[in-house]
């Protein structure tokens, strides 16, 4: 048998050598290398198609090819700079005269007067901004004064030093516990282990939830190439988290009701999926995703589900008590593993206060960072920040304790009624349509008759600061207590602005409508991304 095999091998070697002898040695050397390069290129192209889709991949290749044409790249850069300059219009001139180093002699108490003088340059925001300031009344009294006093009383404190500032440690624990109680921790279905921490805002809360989910799923399932799936309406903080924590992000289109498309999300789940996401409500349109259905999917696949309640956390629980029809959204839903909720929005706490909550300690432990090999000693930190401002924690505690359930119920009733009044008023403007069916206090609207971004520019000239949206082109107002006394003014100005654009179509001089419109239609999203980065690079 061995001799037969040897004979076959000798014949094969002779045949192979005879066949290859007709080729140049250099060609034989380069052929495997070229084949390897070709295979690697094909692999990269297929990977791009898989991640971005065939259309986006072909478009990207086309745009990159066009940029190789002599002169085209320079022309695009010049045109891009024009857009950036327009976006930054006036900002560079405003920076002239700004200090670039410490004064030789300190200003002492006079610095307060300079700050007061500078503050006069801020725009009039009372009642005119979408979201932004959620507390009602004047900043010189009432609830503003209360939280300001609480913040200043504890401005020197830091919960990192547990043994030095036990008061702040208690305040944080109680803010977390009281927030959790609003979101189902007292329900039997929650499991009785809801826990969490305070953070600097919704973005940090989301970042921590994503990081914890990634590490928890690595621990539970051994996933080392993590992916997460979010609806198109989910907050951009998830894109940030994906970049920070090296997670593949799938952004799935919403359904016809502008909710998370549960079937589409299910189709994207694979062995590397660690997390899916729902919002209550979504920032763009104020619509609650089907959290129960998403919870069932998460439970079925044994993966995490994060619910973004940054906007709804201090409204929806009270809206339910007031009799509004609100679908399930909290830890009472099976499958919800974490929740983010901002206290500095409808919780009426000072800016820079949010809460991230987890169903149990097993998940939250993956949020922490512990260091044992540092010469500075043993170190453990619960959040992204090490040192944290105890004054803000104290301000959040003071806000919640001063208002109580009755205060939040009263506030929720007021803003929900204003939201409904705005929707009724918009339906009386035939050129406008409301996007979806808003569940809360965000009303998004567009138009098939006039350019909605031109309407936004006209509203800006009247002092209103609204949010421009895309997919579809629209704008929204996030109702706060500031809008309660001025809702009629808003509707009147909106009706007038629509009529102005209808009678005088065309961009307003100095307005941003052409830029918003062009950005929405621009097929090369990489170029739009570069525009935004260049704008930010010159603005801060």
**pLDDT tens for residues 84-98?**
676 666 556 677 788
Only one residue has tokens 């006079």, namely 110
Dihedral sign, Cα of residue 269, residue 272, residue 278, residue 283: negative
Nearest to 226 by CA among 183, 258, 272: 272
Least confident piece of the model among 117-121, 451-455, 509-513? 509-513
Query: Parallel, antiparallel, or unpaired: how do β-strands 304-308 and 273-279 relate?
Result: parallel
Residue 62, pLDDT score? 67
Reading the block at residue 274, the tokens are: 């660690």
Phi, psi (rounded to 5 degrees) for 287? -110, 135
At 412, list the tokens: 């929720």
Q: Is the pLDDT of residue 107 over 90?
A: yes
Three-point CA angle 412, 413, 414, nearest 5°: 90
The C-alpha atoms of residue 513 and residue 501 are separated, in whole angstroms, by 12
- The confidence band for 525, taking pLDDT boundaries of 50, 70 and 90, is low
Locate 83 and state its tokens: 């857009």
Residue 222 CA to residue 218 CA, distance in Å, equals 4
How high is the pLDDT of residue 19?
73
Residue 45 has pLDDT above 80, yes or no: no
Contact 144, 133 (CB under 8 A): no
Residue 507, pLDDT score = 82
Quote the pLDDT of residue 53.
65
Would you state the pLDDT for residue 5? 74
Helix, coil or strand: residue 522:
coil
Asked whether the beta carbons of 75 and 67 are under 8 A apart, the reply is: no
For residue 339, give the nearest of 364, 369, 370 by alpha carbon. Answer: 364
Locate tokens 């973005």: which residue? 203
What pLDDT sits at residue 290? 98
Task: Please say if the pLDDT value at position 338 is more than 70.
Answer: yes
Give the CA distances from residue 461 to residues 455, 508, 511, 519, in Å, rounded to whole numbers and listed in that order.
10, 10, 9, 22
| pLDDT tens-digit map of 358-411 | 999 999 999 999 999 899 998 889 999 999 999 999 999 999 999 999 999 999
Please check the confidence at residue 120 and state whether its pLDDT lies above 70: yes
Q: What is the pLDDT of residue 297?
A: 98
The predicted model gives 296-303 an average pLDDT of 98
The C-alpha atoms of residue 445 and residue 477 are separated, in whole angstroms, by 9
Which residues does 390 contact at the CB level (< 8 Å), separation at least 6?
154, 155, 156, 157, 158, 159, 165, 168, 171
Q: Are 522 and 516 in contact (CB under 8 A)?
A: no
Quote the pLDDT of residue 109: 95
Phi, psi dihedral angles at 154 (to 5 degrees): -120, 25
Longest dimension (CA), the chain: 102
pLDDT 10s digits, 251-261: 999 999 999 99
CA-to-CA distance for 96 and 533, rounded, in angstroms?
A: 22
pLDDT at 246: 95
- Taking residue 174's Cβ as centre, other Cβ atoms within 10 Å add up to 15
pLDDT greater at residue 14 or residue 279:
279
Q: What is the pLDDT of residue 44?
A: 75
Torsion, Cα 136 142 146 152, to 10 degrees, reads: 90
With cut-offs at 50, 70 and 90, classify the pLDDT of residue 80: low
Dist. CA 477–CA 468, nearest whole Å: 9
């Amino acid at each position: 048998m061995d001799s037969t095999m040897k004979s076959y091998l000798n014949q094969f070697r002779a045949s192979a050598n005879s066949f290859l002898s007709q080729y140049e040695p250099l060609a034989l050397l380069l052929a495997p290398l070229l084949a390897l390069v070709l295979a690697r290129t094909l692999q990269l192209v297929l990977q791009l198609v898989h991640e971005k889709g065939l259309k986006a991949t072909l478009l990207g290749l086309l745009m990159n090819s066009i940029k190789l044409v002599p002169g085209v790249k320079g022309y695009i850069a010049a045109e891009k700079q024009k857009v950036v300059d327009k976006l930054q219009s006036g900002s560079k001139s405003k920076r002239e005269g700004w200090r670039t180093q410490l004064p030789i002699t300190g200003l002492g108490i006079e610095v307060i007067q300079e700050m007061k003088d500078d503050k006069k340059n801020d725009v009039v925001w009372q009642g005119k901004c979408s979201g932004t300031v959620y507390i009602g009344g004047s900043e010189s009294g009432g609830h503003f004064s209360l939280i300001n006093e609480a913040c200043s009383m504890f401005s020197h404190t830091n919960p990192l030093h547990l043994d030095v500032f036990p008061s702040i440690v208690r305040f944080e624990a109680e803010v977390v516990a009281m927030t959790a109680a609003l979101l189902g921790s007292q329900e039997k279905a929650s499991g009785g282990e809801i826990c969490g921490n305070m953070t600097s805002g919704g973005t940090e809360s989301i970042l921590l939830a994503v990081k914890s989910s990634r590490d928890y799923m690595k621990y539970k399932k051994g996933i080392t190439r993590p992916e997460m799936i979010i609806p198109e309406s989910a907050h951009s903080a998830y894109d940030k988290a994906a970049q920070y924590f090296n997670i593949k992000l799938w952004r799935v289109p919403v359904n016809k009701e502008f909710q998370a498309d549960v079937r589409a999300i299910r189709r994207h789940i694979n062995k590397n999926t660690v997390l899916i996401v729902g919002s209550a409500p979504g920032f763009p349109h104020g619509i609650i995703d089907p959290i129960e259905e998403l919870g069932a999917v998460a439970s079925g696949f044994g993966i995490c589900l994060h619910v973004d309640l940054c906007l709804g956390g201090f409204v929806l629980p009270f809206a339910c008590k007031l009799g509004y029809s609100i679908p399930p959204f909290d830890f009472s839903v099976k499958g919800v593993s974490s929740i983010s909720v901002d206290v500095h929005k409808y919780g009426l706490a000072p800016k820079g206060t949010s809460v991230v909550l987890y169903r149990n300690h097993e998940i939250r432990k993956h949020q922490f960072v512990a260091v044992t090999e540092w010469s500075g000693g043993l170190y453990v930190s619960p959040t992204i920040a090490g040192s944290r401002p105890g004054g803000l924690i104290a301000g959040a505690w003071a806000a919640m304790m001063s208002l109580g359930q009755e205060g939040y119920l009263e506030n929720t009733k007021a803003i929900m009624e204003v939201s409904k009044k705005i929707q009724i008023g918009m339906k009386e403007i035939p050129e406008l349509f409301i996007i979806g069916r808003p569940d809360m206090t965000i009303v998004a609207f567009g138009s098939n008759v006039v350019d909605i971004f031109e309407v936004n520019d006209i509203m800006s000239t009247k002092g209103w600061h609204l949010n421009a949206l895309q997919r579809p082109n629209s704008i929204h107002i996030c109702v706060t207590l500031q809008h309660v006394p001025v809702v009629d003014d808003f509707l009147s100005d909106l009706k007038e602005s629509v009529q102005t654009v209808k009678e005088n179509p065309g961009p307003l001089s100095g307005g941003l409508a052409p830029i918003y419109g062009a950005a929405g239609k621009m097929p090369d999203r990489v170029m739009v991304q570069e525009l935004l980065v260049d704008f930010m690079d010159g603005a801060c």
